[in-house]
Structure 1
Amino acid sequence: MKECKNKCDLKSCFLCQLVLPDWLPAIEANKRNLEIKKGQQVFKEDDPVTGIYFVYKGTIKVHKRWDNEKELIIRFSKPGDVIGYLGLGLDPTYPVTTTALEPSVVCFLDLQFLENTLNVNSKFTVALVRLLATDLQESHKSMRDLAHMSVKARIAKAFVSMKNQFGLRSDGSINLDINKQDIAAYAGASYETFFKVVTELTANKIVAFSGKSLFIQNEALLLEIIARG
């Protein structure tokens, strides 16, 4: 990671939208903007917690080890989102890894300044607590899906989730460049199983790929697959 200057506009991120206006100069004085190359980690699982990060530019995947050879992508973070907050518990290590899917910029606040910010800005504190609670709820849902949904339904859900989060480009493709290995990891599937399911879905004109571009051709059928579980 390389530090860069004057990248944050003090308006766009989760933090700046919620703190008191008088606190913005303090953020300006204490933040560090960091450029992240494509494929570079912001932090990795079991690293000591040093602070919290706010995504200003780019897309970051949040993932963790599934077993010795596989990973599970928990979510994608885009501009305005916060990463690193799961490391704020009693265990002072990050429980996940974060990796840039494209050239990105993040804003970093160290733990001491973050604590000061929480003490002064109640609106931000409440929002962060809600974010932690929502993340816990989503984690429970994901574990339930891994246990009870078929692989095909999880893959269909991954496609629809990406479309809902990132929207569509003018050509109709999902507005996210992502390889098939990462989509498989997001669905909690092995690449071999993912390939078999996608071969079936493309043959039935439900989804299509062109390079790293993904097209949903029949969302109604994907939703039926998800509903069947």
Structure 2
Amino acid sequence: MCQNIMPDWWEMIDLKRTLIKVKKGQRFIEESNKISGVFFVQDGFVKVHKHWGEREMIVRFAKKGDIVGHRGISGGNSLSPISATAMKDSVLCFLELDFFRSLLKTNNTFAYELMMFYADELQWSEQKMGSLVHLSVKERFIVNLLYLINHLGLDKENVLKAELTKTDLAAYIGTTYETIYRVISEMENENILLFSGKQIQIVDLEKLKLGFV
């Protein structure tokens, strides 16, 4: 946000924003509750999720610099379609909805960049939903893992820069824990990746990419 806001607004943002510290496991947006504003992750890691029948579906993950709560900005519905929970101790920057809308109306570059973000997210969401019908669980896992690598990055040891459990991955991909366990075991045997605790190390990135060709 700050990269695309006109300097004249910076002082007002400092006055209007609220920094909120949330603990690991703390939910700060509740599905179906009234929307009060949007959050930017200043530090930490967050999951955005919602109910999918009897199960939880993780919609996306948000890292430092990402926006959370934007899915609830609507002219016709004031209830949040998602929940958001900290996956580690995090610091959030909160802006009330009316002020956030004022920023959009008066900062064209910011509004444009947010529109591009919406477009990219919609495209990925449609691709992800299509994969539920057309791809096997292993193929869905590969597609989503490659997306997470691109979005979150790898460290010097080729470990994904986020700690995720097999339960998290199952909820993100749309399958069961038992199925994701089998898929990961198979890919470990193929020497493509290693899963240790909550860390995913990519042993052979090219081989991972070829798994979806």
TM bucket normalised to smaller? over 0.9
Matched, 1:20 2:6: yes
Give 1:153's aligned amino acid. Answer: E
Q: Is the 8 A contact 2:158 2:203 kept in 1?
A: no
> Identity percentage over the alignment?
35
Partner of residue 97, structure 1: 83
Structure 1 residues without counterparts, runs of 5 or longer: 1-14
Deviation at 1:121, TM superposition (A): 1.3
The number of residue pairs the alignment matches comes to 212
Q: Is the 8 A contact 1:56 1:80 kept in 2?
A: yes
Deviation at 1:171, TM superposition (A): 2.8
1:96-153 CA-partner distances (Å, limit 9, x unpaired): 1111111111111111211222222121122222222222222211111111111110
Q: Counterparts in 2 of 1:1-229, with a 5 A limit?
A: 15-68=1-54, 70-89=55-74, 90-227=76-213
Give 1:38's aligned amino acid. Answer: K
Give 2:139's aligned amino acid. Answer: A
Q: Secondary structure at the match of 2:155?
A: coil
**Aligned equivalents of 1:225 and 1:96: distance in 2?**
32
Q: Secondary structure at the match of 1:226?
A: coil
Q: Is the 8 A contact 1:56 1:79 kept in 2?
A: yes
* Cα RMSD after superposing both structures: 1.4
Q: TM-score, normalised by structure 1?
A: 0.87
Q: TM-score, normalised by structure 2?
A: 0.93
Question: Are residues 226 and 63 of structure 1, via their aligned partners in 2, closer, same or farther at CA, if it must alter by over 3 Å?
Answer: farther
1:47-98 CA-partner distances (Å, limit 9, x unpaired): 2110111111011111221221x22222211111111111011211111111
Question: Are residues 159 and 137 of structure 1, via their aligned partners in 2, closer, same or farther at CA, if it must alter by over 3 Å?
Answer: closer
1:184-225 CA-partner distances (Å, limit 9, x unpaired): 112221111111111211122121112211111122232222
